[in-house]
Chain A
């Protein structure tokens, strides 16, 4: 398993990995609570994370390792279309600013830990609670698997082959998440984010000078796409609606996921979240510049076996071994933070909205923390087994559907913060129809995220998740109108 290993790169990689592992275990004593045996502490870090911790945690959690690999890979493969991640991660923040402080306040006042808790408290419906919680867990599982793929790419780039390094890294992660809870990824996020900033700033400052400047990079990419006969540095007319709708749909879905909501609930207050909506776009700038690495791959004339190799190959080709090792460590550690928070978010959902409701309603706070710890472990082992024994494409397809599914929880979670009109039944039926209809559309389109609609004046392709959300809302409104009509029959005509 040790072919063409770059020793300085491997040494730097291992040194940083050991550092964050130590931090992961020490984290249980960071901002030490009276006890960690309470879900508010293990699963939400005590709800006391201020502006900077939240900035590092949500930044480290939302901009995942897979993003670092996959966005430049998509841009390398198709060009401008891959940049939809940029408008997506811009418009998400006005949404976060407007909605998330309201959600945080409800959660804080009532002691809620998950989206399922919020929905149960609002509608007093166990079935809607279960629907929201189950969607969250199912959508998160493939997302964790994706982080493993990101880590796998970084480990492979070091020259290590075989599955042992990946298994070892993930088991260590599972152990310190078990013992420290959300404090572990929150502490590690500081290291991860600073490393990623250093890597990307070095890349965008140094690579263009080696490749003849940004003008040359765009020209090289243009030439490569023309030679290939597909893709381009501008969108084709047919890509305009997919681009906009993917950006909008992804932005609405992003903070419905358990891992991003966990970051929100763990913050110390509404103003902390608002300040973060102002400050988090710094990561978006980073992402936009990172995406350009895809074009730099063309300018450097890389020959790749897989599009996912564009970032690692670029660093191996243009930087000394020790810095490439630093970059790969940044990506691998970048996978640990989201994987930890995702497993914690999923564990919180399982504990609060399934175990406590259906298995053991009398569970103590300490019992809740214990169930969540074990669940977080099982969730990670499950994701690891999925990556080891199932085709990678399976995880990618499920992740795609997961985005569509999680978006269907938005009406149940968000509408109730502002309106007192919808009943739980109408929201549940809307959720079910959106989920089933969207999945069916995606399935019939060959698991592509876009569905073509004929508006008469030519076909337009739109993000399927957004179509499913529209269906979801329309059904919920119609059912609710119907239910209200039945509940309050019109007064009988006076003439009778």
Chain B
């Protein structure tokens, strides 16, 4: 079930209208940009969590 975490980046990034906005800004970046950039470390984190539970499977 923990593998379902792998689907979250798809959900977070396919809902384009949700993040296609300017405010709130962060460090001069419109929301559109920092939201997507934030998914990079977040995806790594989620994948790492899944990795910890499946790595011994093979």
Q: List chain A positions with a Cβ less than 8 A from chain B.
A: 80, 83, 86-87, 90-91, 93-94, 97-98, 101, 105, 213-218, 233-235, 240, 243-244, 247-248, 269-271, 274-275, 277-279, 281-282, 284-285, 288-289, 292
Contacts of B3 in A (CB 8 A): 98
Contacts of B6 in A (CB 8 A): 94, 97-98
Q: Provided the pairs A90-B9, A97-B47, A270-B58 are in contact, do residues A285 and B40 lie with their beta carbons within 8 angstroms?
A: yes
Interface of B is mostly: helix
Please name the residue on chain A nearest to B6 by beta carbon. A94
Between-chain CB contacts (< 8 Å), 22 pairs: A87-B14, A90-B13, A90-B40, A90-B43, A91-B13, A93-B44, A93-B47, A94-B43, A94-B47, A214-B28, A215-B25, A218-B29, A240-B17, A271-B58, A275-B51, A278-B48, A281-B43, A284-B40, A288-B36, A288-B37, A289-B37, A292-B33
Instruction: Determine how close the nearest CB of chain A comes to the CB of B8; give it in whole angstroms.
Output: 8
CA distance A105 to B58 in the complex (A): 9
Most chain B C-beta atoms within 10 Å of own C-beta, residue among A269, A284, A289: A284
Instruction: Determine how close the nearest CB of chain A comes to the CB of B10; give it in whole angstroms.
Output: 5
CA distance A270 to B57 in the complex (A): 10
Contacts of B2 in A (CB 8 A): none
Instruction: Determine how close the nearest CB of chain A comes to the CB of B18; give it in whole angstroms.
Output: 10
CA distance A322 to B1 in the complex (A): 53
Which A-B residue pairs are the 8 nearest by beta carbons? A214-B28, A215-B28, A94-B6, A87-B13, A270-B58, A278-B48, A278-B47, A240-B16
CA distance A309 to B43 in the complex (A): 32
Contacts of A240 in B (CB 8 A): 16-17, 20
- Taking a contact as CB atoms under 8 Å apart, the answer to whether A278 and B51 are in contact is yes
Contacts of B55 in A (CB 8 A): 271, 274
CA distance A350 to B33 in the complex (A): 42
- Taking a contact as CB atoms under 8 Å apart, the answer to whether A234 and B51 are in contact is no
- Taking a contact as CB atoms under 8 Å apart, the answer to whether B9 and A97 are in contact is no
Q: Provided the pairs A278-B47, A281-B44 are in contact, do residues A214 and B13 lie with their beta carbons within 8 angstroms?
A: no
**How does the 8 Å CB contact mask read for B42-55 relative to A, with 1 for contact and 0 for none?**
01101110110011
Interface set, chain B 14-42, CB cutoff 8 A to A: 14, 16-17, 20-22, 25, 27-30, 32-33, 36-37, 39-41
Please name the residue on chain A nearest to B17 by beta carbon. A240
Partner of A97, one of B16, B30, B37, B50: B50
Contacts of A289 in B (CB 8 A): 37
Contacts of A278 in B (CB 8 A): 44, 47-48, 51
CA distance A274 to B47 in the complex (A): 8
Partner of B28, one of A86, A93, A218, A284: A218
Instruction: Determine how close the nearest CB of chain A comes to the CB of B21; give it in whole angstroms.
Output: 7
- Taking a contact as CB atoms under 8 Å apart, the answer to whether A91 and B9 are in contact is yes
Please name the residue on chain B nearest to A86 by beta carbon. B36
Contacts of A97 in B (CB 8 A): 6, 47, 50-51
CA distance A269 to B57 in the complex (A): 12
Contacts of A233 in B (CB 8 A): 22, 30, 32
Q: Provided the pairs A277-B47, A278-B47 are in contact, do residues A213 and B13 lie with their beta carbons within 8 angstroms?
A: no
Q: Provided the pairs A98-B3, A105-B58, A278-B48 are in contact, do residues A247 and B13 lie with their beta carbons within 8 angstroms?
A: yes
Contacts of B44 in A (CB 8 A): 93, 278-279, 281-282
CA distance A234 to B25 in the complex (A): 13
Contacts of B47 in A (CB 8 A): 93-94, 97, 274, 277-278
- Taking a contact as CB atoms under 8 Å apart, the answer to whether A83 and B50 are in contact is no
Contacts of A235 in B (CB 8 A): 16, 20, 32
Please name the residue on chain B nearest to A87 by beta carbon. B13
Contacts of A275 in B (CB 8 A): 51
Contacts of B37 in A (CB 8 A): 86, 285, 288-289
- Taking a contact as CB atoms under 8 Å apart, the answer to whether A217 and B16 are in contact is no
Partner of A94, one of B9, B30, B32: B9
Instruction: Determine how close the nearest CB of chain B comes to the CB of A228; give it in whole angstroms.
Output: 19
Partner of A213, one of B14, B28, B43: B28
